[in-house]
Structure 1
Amino acid sequence: MYHSKKSVTIAERYSFYNQVPSSEESVTQFATALRQLAMNCKFERFLDQALRDKFVCGLRDSGTQKKLQSGEDKADKLTFLGALEIAVTMEKFTMGVRELETVLHTARPSITRTKVKVEDGSCFRCGKPSHKATECRFIRFLCRSSGCRDHLQAVCHSRNPSDCERNHKAPVHKVNDNAEEDEHSSDDNEVDLFQFKNKSFS
């Protein structure tokens, strides 16, 4: 009978000392599992020491292990609950650092794209990158495609006349409807057309 009880105790302690945390298990969950396994190990007055030693040795994070083992005099006075408290604090710190790195890694590409867009931006009135839109010489010209004032046909994105304010003077007529014009000839035609309109209706 005595031999049977001793065998059971050894088996319980074997399970206790071989317990390892899973990859998704927190330090608190690991500590709870050790408490449950230790209930039938009969550690008696050595219970806290056994829990502390197994807890420290079973931690996955080597940095936390080194922290708990630093200083032999302090390590001897360290309790199971004290070790658990330190491990929880370091676990939260590590998780916070990882979350911050994730946020920075996610935000960095958008910041880069915005910067490139500003540096490589072109004037939305004529499409040329050599000046700002507020300094563009086509700021008061009419687009032959939409009838909008302030940009050229070559850079027009609106096909609906109601999208912008039309010029209330004489309508602008398109020329060479069937001809394909490059960007420069399109700009010059619109300038000439606008000047011709002003002369005709002045």
Structure 2
Amino acid sequence: MAKTVGKVACFEMDGGNWQTYCDRLEMYFLVNKVEDNLKLPTLISCIGDTAYELMVNLCSPKKPCDCEYDEVIKIMANYLQPKPSVVAERFKFRQCRQSNGQSVANFMAELKKASRYCDFGTTLDDNMRDQFVCGVNSDFVRQRLFAEEKLSYNKAVTIATTLEAAERDSHAIGDKDISERNDVKTVHKIQPVSAGRGLCESCGDPHHRQTECKFSQYVCDVCKIKGHLRRMCPQVMRGSSLGRPTNGFGANRRGNGGRGAANRGRSWRGGWSGRGGGARSGLHWVQGRDAEADQEDFLQGERGRDGEEVMNLMSLSQYKPE
């Protein structure tokens, strides 16, 4: 017994296409060299219980096996897929438009499917071309097609597909260039000192470390210790955090030259806050707005006192000791 090629599945009553099923069945007959007198028995044995029951009802009072193969195929087709209205199908065809994100190839397949029952005959290519040009989503592609002389359907599809591929490639190259530029910016971006350190301990600049600072060998005017400027002196910082002015840090306002007279009307407002007891070691001085003004006066006086132009000067009112 010769081995059969392929397999014919049962016909699906829900959503199945009878014409497509018959076309596949014909190919099965052809490749397996099924004789004409065996086509109907093969169909009945493969169609499935539900579809065979429908076939029996449609062929009544005769039995399906008493009919011819072509007769049974036509009876089933008239029930499952009655011929639609040509006008209605052409109306649906004229409504076809390429949706956003739909490729040219998918739009072309949709048009082919919509034209199936339009009965265009020899004018099929002209109607396909016209609807393709009218339904394409891109105005640029449509204008390009309008400029063509003797435009055929195949030529219109070729031009639209080529332009679609070119646009897709240009977007891909543009996205790559933007990504590379962003990578370069990230590499060359100046990274500030880590949050753990905050500022340079020598000059207060947040953009470099103490080992890179040119003031790392400078001798402080306050504590006379080498390694930092006056504004980064621990004694000055401690005095600002405790609210006790030290070494001319705006506290000795009365003896601070021209700034003392301007500051006589100011009051040092603040209060102690913290947990537990009255010892000041675990407390923090909450300064008022006048204290911030005194700090700014002090910082302005640091220019020239350190002998250098202060770079990236940061207000001590923003400094919060850990």
TM-score (norm 2): 0.35
Residue 49 of structure 1 is aligned with which of 111, 126, 130? 126
Shift of 1:125: 8.9
Shift of 1:17: 0.5
Q: In structure 2, do the counterparts of structure 1 residues 7 and 29 end up closer, same or farther at CA, with 3 Å as the change threshold?
A: closer
| Distance in structure 1 (CA, Å) of the matches to 2:96 and 2:189 | 53
Runs of 4+ aligned residues of structure 1 deviating over 6 Å after TM superposition are 122-125
Amino acid of the residue matched to residue 51 of structure 1? M
Shift of 1:111: 1.1
Amino acid of the residue matched to residue 107 of structure 2? F
Cα offsets for 1:97-156 (capped at 9, x unmatched): 1112212222222212323449xxx888922389xxxxxxxxxxxxxxxxxxxxxxxxxx
Match of 1:104 in 2: 177
| Distance in structure 1 (CA, Å) of the matches to 2:146 and 2:121 | 24
Whichever of the two has the greater Rg, that structure is 2
Identical columns (%): 24
| Distance in structure 1 (CA, Å) of the matches to 2:144 and 2:178 | 29
Instruction: Note the residue ranges of structure 2 that are not aligned, 5 or more in a row.
Output: 1-81, 192-206, 216-224, 230-322
Q: In structure 2, do the counterparts of structure 1 residues 37 and 128 end up closer, same or farther at CA, with 3 Å as the change threshold?
A: same
Q: Is the 8 A contact 2:84 2:117 kept in 1?
A: no
Amino acid of the residue matched to residue 68 of structure 1? L
| Distance in structure 2 (CA, Å) of the matches to 1:44 and 1:101 | 46
- Alignment pair present for 1:62 and 2:144: no
| Distance in structure 1 (CA, Å) of the matches to 2:228 and 2:209 | 15
Instruction: Note the residue ranges of structure 1 that are not aligned, 5 or more in a row.
Output: 131-180, 186-202
| Distance in structure 1 (CA, Å) of the matches to 2:96 and 2:228 | 77
**Residues paired across the two proteins, number:** 127
Asked which structure has the greater RCO (Cα within 8 Å, sep 6+), the reply is 1
Of Structure 1 and Structure 2, which has the larger fraction of its residues in helix? 1
TM-score (norm 1): 0.54
Task: Spell out the pairing of 1:47-196 with structure 2 (5 A cutoff).
Answer: 47-71=124-148, 74=149, 77-117=150-190, 126-128=211-213, 183-184=227-228
Match of 1:192 in 2: none
